[in-house]
Chains A and B, each alone.
Chain A
Amino acid sequence: DAGVTQSPTHLIKTRGQQVTLRCSPKSGHDTVSWYQQALGQGPQFIFQYYEEEERQRGNFPDRFSGHQFPNYSSELNVNALLLGDSALYLCASSLEGTSRPLHEQYFGPGTRLTVT
């Protein structure tokens, strides 16, 4: 049983470009949350997707958008990249959205995005 997978592992982009990160949830999970972890910081919640809709959002600008597909996989898109977007982007999956406790959420290994 595969856990949460993310691709790519590493990515280097130039300021102003756009990037798409991908996440496949753990088998049986239907909810995907995205986090940004800047260097030396704890993860910060970006948003959560359930039933192909964004349910909750953290304090991130509209440049950050996402999508969830019918197979529950998800994409995180970031437009007009800034140097400050350089971070580890973590995806986490769980079952049934907001009602589940945190310990039923599983994290992927992350995508390291570097913006130059």
Chain B
Amino acid sequence: GEDVEQSLFLSVREGDSSVINCTYTDSSSTYLYWYKQEPGAGLQLLTYIFSNMDMKQDQRLTVLLNKKDKHLSLRIADTQTGDSAIYFCADPNSGGYQKVTFGTGTKLQVIP
């Protein structure tokens, strides 16, 4: 079955860039997603990328997609303490989100 993997933890200093990585085993999805979850909260859609794109930039966020290597990354520029959260990549597979697979999440700690 589908497997989506992420590193568990990332610590960065405020003002530095953060890069969160994700690998997936199988995807025919039209889009791939990044979600953010703050303590005690639900999931917040952060950004997504169309599968025929290599890169998408949205203000401080840059998503890179390497379909050949099945690798997705999220770069956060000028990381702030408010960015401290758990970040999940998600692959809806065939596009029907009833089959969506989430990664295990990367906890981002921003040190002031």
Interface residue ranges, A against B (CB under 8 Å): 33, 40-45, 48, 55-56, 58, 90, 92, 94, 98-103, 105, 107-110
- What DSSP secondary structure best describes chain A's contact surface? mixed
- Interface flags for B65-100 (1: CB within 8 Å of A; 0: not) read 000000000000000000000001010100111111
Using known A-B contacts A42-B102, A90-B42, A108-B42, determine if residue A98 contacts B31 with beta carbons closer than 8 Å: no
Give complex CA distance A101, B103 in Å.
18
- What DSSP secondary structure best describes chain B's contact surface? mixed
Give complex CA distance A103, B48 in Å.
8
> What is the number of residues of chain B that contact chain A, defined by CB distance less than 8 Å?
24
Q: Cβ of B43: which chain A residues have Cβ within 8 Å of it?
A: 43, 90, 92, 107
Nearest to A106 among chain B residues (CB) is B45
Cβ–Cβ contact B102 & A101, under 8 A: no
Give 7 nearest A-B pairs by CB, closest first: A42-B102, A56-B98, A98-B96, A107-B43, A109-B42, A102-B97, A107-B42
Interface residue ranges, B against A (CB under 8 Å): 4, 30-31, 33, 41-45, 48, 88, 90, 92, 95-105
Give complex CA distance A101, B31 in Å.
8
Give complex CA distance A107, B100 in Å.
14
Using known A-B contacts A99-B96, A102-B31, A102-B48, determine if residue A42 contacts B105 with beta carbons closer than 8 Å: yes
Cβ–Cβ contact A100 & B97, under 8 A: yes
Cβ–Cβ contact A56 & B102, under 8 A: no
Cβ–Cβ contact B95 & A101, under 8 A: yes
Give complex CA distance A90, B104 in Å.
16
